[in-house]
């Protein structure tokens, strides 16, 4: 008899105020972490449907559920978006693996009305912006836009209480901007000057230092128009920065600023695991982001 996974864990796991954990160095991934949340498009307009992807890393146990909540910022409470507890009680014991596509669609409609915009792996997260959201705003306010508040809870396999889960937040601008933002893209890496393409495993020697540089795709750094508080338009250029996360070893810098994007990683002298990963996150300071996942093999 196969094991049955309830659709949702108890409501305490959705309470932002309860999710706490002991912190190590910010760039060391030694526990369940939600490193990034990426909307597509990065800056939607009224009527757009936004999809979401999270960079979740869990060294100790597979992630069983990603629960996504979404609401407009002015609808969020002190703890973020709120989900009706009555809905939790009604669907807590549902098993999506036993449901037909029609039943899943009806369930998704019900969850969306309650504020839950996704439940992976069964329901991919998405949010459709109301067509009239920016109606009545003047030019400056439309260009600035409003914020969609998104929160994602990662629940690992075997979770028993709120301390086992991890929570992340993301604000998504919704606007009528003349130059809306797009997510950047990391095209490749250079590893000690050698280009590394996606999917390539890099072999390294324990204790050795390596210089790594993420290379942005052409057009990733955008020019855009900004309307200041006095109604004057300014032409600006994005200033992306990178954040680096590792399992073991050491970094000379955990953050770098484009175009001085390179960093030095020293492989662990006595690695706990020969197969490791380095994660590189790029953010454009306007809400857009992308990441690169680099598999590593450490030779002892």
Q: What are the phi and psi torsion angles at 91 (to 5°)?
A: -115, 5
Burial 268-296 (b: 16+ CB within 10 A, else e): beebeeeebebbbbbbbebbbbbbbebeb
- Find out whether 145 and 48 touch, Cβ atoms under 8 Å: no
For residues 105 and 32, give the distance between their C-alpha atoms in angstroms, rounded to a whole number.
Answer: 30
pLDDT at 6 over 70: no
Q: What are the phi and psi torsion angles at 231 (to 5°)?
A: 80, 20
Angle at 52 between CA 48 and CA 58, to 5 degrees: 175
- Find out whether 244 and 294 touch, Cβ atoms under 8 Å: no
13 or 259: whose pLDDT is higher? 259
The torsion defined by the Cα of 108, 113, 115 and 121, in degrees rounded to 10, comes to 0
| Architecture of the CATH domain 186-299 | Sandwich (2.60)
Among the listed ranges 94-103, 170-179, 202-211, which one has the minimum average pLDDT value? 94-103
Q: pTM for the whole thing?
A: 0.87
pLDDT band at residue 56 using 50, 70 and 90 as cut-offs:
very high
- Find out whether 165 and 154 touch, Cβ atoms under 8 Å: yes
pLDDT at 182 over 70: yes
- Find out whether 285 and 193 touch, Cβ atoms under 8 Å: no
Q: Where are the domains of the chain?
A: 11-174, 186-299
pLDDT band at residue 10 using 50, 70 and 90 as cut-offs:
very low
pLDDT digits (tens, 9 = 90+) for 222-257: 999 998 878 889 999 999 999 999 999 999 999 999
264 or 109: whose pLDDT is higher? 264
Strand partners, 53: 38
pLDDT band at residue 160 using 50, 70 and 90 as cut-offs:
confident
pLDDT at 269 over 70: yes
pLDDT band at residue 4 using 50, 70 and 90 as cut-offs:
very low
């Amino acid at each position: 008899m196969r094991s049955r996974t309830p659709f949702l864990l108890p409501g305490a796991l959705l309470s932002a105020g309860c999710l706490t954990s002991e912190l190590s160095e910010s760039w060391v991934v030694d526990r369940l972490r939600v490193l990034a949340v990426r909307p597509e498009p990065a800056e939607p307009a009224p009527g757009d449907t936004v999809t979401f992807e999270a960079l979740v890393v869990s060294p100790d146990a597979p992630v069983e559920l990603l629960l996504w909540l979404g609401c407009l910022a002015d609808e969020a409470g002190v703890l973020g978006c709120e989900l009706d507890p009555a809905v939790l009680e009604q669907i807590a014991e549902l098993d999506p693996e036993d449901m037909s596509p029609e039943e899943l669609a009806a369930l998704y409609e019900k969850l969306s009305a309650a504020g839950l915009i996704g439940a992976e792996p069964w329901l991919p997260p998405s949010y459709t912006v109301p067509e009239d959201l920016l109606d009545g705003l003047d030019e400056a306010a439309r260009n600035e836009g409003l914020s969609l508040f998104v929160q994602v809870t990662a629940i690992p396999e075997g979770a028993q209480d709120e301390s086992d889960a991890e929570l992340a937040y993301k604000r998504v601008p919704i606007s009528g901007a003349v130059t809306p933002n797009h997510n950047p893209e990391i095209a490749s890496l250079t590893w000690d000057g050698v280009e590394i393409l996606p999917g390539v495993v890099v072999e390294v020697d324990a204790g050795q230092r390596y210089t790594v540089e993420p290379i942005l795709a052409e057009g990733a750094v955008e020019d855009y128009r900004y309307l200041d508080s006095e109604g004057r338009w300014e032409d600006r250029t994005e200033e992306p920065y990178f954040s680096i996360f590792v399992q073991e070893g050491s970094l000379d810098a955990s953050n770098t600023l484009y175009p001085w994007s390179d960093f030095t990683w020293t492989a662990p002298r006595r690695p706990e695991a020969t197969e490791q990963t380095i994660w590189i996150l790029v953010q454009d300071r306007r809400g857009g982001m992308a990441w690169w996942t680099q598999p590593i093999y450490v030779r002892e």
